[in-house]
Structure 1
Amino acid sequence: MSVSPGLADLSRLYQTEFVRSARAVGVLWAVCTLCFAIIQVVILVQPSWICTTDVRPQQAGPEPPSGTLGLFEVCMESDWPVPDCHGGLSTLSPLPSLQSVAVLVGVSLLAVWTSVLCLCLFRFCSAATVYKICAWLQLTAGFCLALACLLFPDSWESQEMKALCGDSVGSFSPGNCSVHWAYILAILGVLDYAILATLAFVLANRQDALLPPDTQEGECGGKVVNSSDELSSQFHAETLFSLLQ
């Protein structure tokens, strides 16, 4: 099959623009993955999953406590500028009632940072393979984080929550407290992981169309050069027709 030189040049132009656009989307995807990996570290360590609300006592007596609660520590406001916190990452032991939630968030954090480290594989493996590996890791991270967000309200009936939020605390009932920004950020993270994983799968499926016409990448590494100019021209024409449709 013979293709005119003008049509081959036009297909090269379309493919060059297509490659540039795909690379820009890939860079944006990698930056978003790195940013949310850093954000999830904040979600894990910050004692801001639960905070007390401003409730005025209906009868005379001591004022209810005020503070925040996280997966690893409880912080109570005191007369000092710095709150009085119990627990912390130094002991590497989460609150007893939140151990399962902390483990799930930790697994999610490990999965997303593994996907960040997998970005180095772009120099050794095909881009489609790397995108698929990162997509599955991000799906795993999103699933673990979603499960942690579902289990967290079920763990509210604990001594730490009752000491902070009153005796009216129960499963899915925070009593005198409300969810704080770290928990909301974790819920938004589930949606973020779903978007990043979907985008990674889309970029992986587009890699065959993004390759130059005279090269094909293997699973990890080497390139195979097409020796037939006719096959290369046919590839140009087919790429052009698929882009114009």
Structure 2
Amino acid sequence: MVSKVEYVDSTHMYASNYVRNSKAIGVLWAIFTICYAIIGVVTFLTPEWIGDLDSEYPGRFGLWEACQTDEKSEHCQGQIYDLGNLPSVAFQVATILVGISCLTSLFTICAMLLFFFCKSTKVFHICGWLQLLSALCMLGGVCVYPLGWDAPDVRRTCGASAGRFELGQCGLRWAYLLAAIGCLDAIILAILAFILATRHVKLQAEPTYGSALTNGSLYKGEVNSAYITDAHSVAGGSRKSLNLHPVLLMHPGPPGHSADDTYSQFSSRTARSKHSYHRPEYSTSIHNFQL
């Protein structure tokens, strides 16, 4: 029975590994995209961009909401649908830009559903452009926001030394830093989406080697002609088709010796031990043994 050995093309193996790894990276990209959307929503809603809780008039400021603290409680002012009452035009622009960034990140999550209906390359391109737009809007909001630090409400809490890009007695709080990290996160996700879209490959077809290919596998000797099986003959024919049996020829011995004095080369008897008393004599007249 001829043993069956399967041969796999190296390019097919590399393509399979690449597709498997790209799927794993795509799953991680989707997870971090959702995390970035959560970061954007949190930074947009919380009033923790700048502030000082130890000053004479402690307070916290966000994009569209400002909270002042007195001896009894904390009072927050500002409405997301009423941007005209914000203390500075820079705060209004920053609110609009960060809001667009959050909406775009949410649209990116919705666009992931297109993986079930469209080609992955197109979906990655769409998500990549959306994430790039979201990153630019978030970066614009982070850069524009310091222009409104000279507003009267901000200077009341941060001191008279507060101004554009000058916080005075106030400091940056965790939401502003989280928004800055979100900008970098969105840029990296957009670049990764474009890479997954442009370098996406499909599985290659099984390599063919002619009629010797049987169900994606090859038999020994069908690729390398130097390997000869029982189905091939040295003379070009088939030993099975000729129905030949191997023959073992015996040496006739030196001249003058009879057939009875001839022994097989596999026998332990020699001419000297012909008349040994330890074993009986066996005469033979057959020179050819068929195996």
TM-score normalized by the length of structure 2: 0.64
Q: Determine the C-alpha separation between the residues in 2 that align with 1:153 and 1:53.
A: 19
1:83 aligns with 2:74: yes
Match of 2:38 in 1: 38
Q: Aligned to 2:7, what secondary structure does the other structure show?
A: helix
Within the alignment, does 1:52 sit opposite 2:52 as a pair?
Answer: yes
Instruction: Quote the residue 1:218 is aligned against.
Output: none
Distance 2:117 2:71 in 1: 57
Structure 1 residues without counterparts, runs of 5 or longer? 56-63, 215-227, 231-245
Report how far residue 164 of structure 1 moved: 1.9
Contact in 2 for aligned 1:53/1:178 (Cα 8 Å): no
Q: Which residue is equivalent to 2:159?
A: 166
Give the share of equivalent positions with the same residue, in percent.
Answer: 37
Instruction: Name the one with the larger helix percent.
Output: 1
Equivalent residue number for residue 7 of structure 2: 6
Larger relative contact order (CA 8 Å, sep ≥ 6): 1
Aligned partner of 2:64 among 72, 87, 110: 72
Q: Distance in 2 between matches of 1:88 and 1:178?
A: 24
Give the Cα–Cα distance (whole angstroms) in 2 for the partners of residues 109 and 229 of structure 1: 51
Q: 2:180 aligns with which of 157, 179, 187?
A: 187
Cross-structure match for 1:203: 196
Give the structure 2 partner of residue 151 of structure 1.
Answer: 144
Q: Which amino acid aligns with 1:130?
A: V
Decide which moves more: 16-25 or 187-196. Answer: 16-25
Q: Deviations over 1:138-176 (max 9, x none)?
A: 111111111111111111111221222122221111121
Shift of 1:103: 0.4
TM-score of the superposition, structure 1-length normalised? Answer: 0.75
- For residues 92 and 139 of structure 1, what CA distance do their matches in structure 2 show? 28
Is the contact made by 2:57 and 2:70 (CA closer than 8 Å) also made in structure 1? no
Q: 1:54 offset after TM fit, Å?
A: 3.9
Q: CA deviation at 1:229?
A: 6.6
What are structure 2's unaligned runs of at least 5 residues?
A: 1-5, 210-291
Task: Please state whether the residue corresponding to 1:72 is helix, strand or coil.
Answer: coil
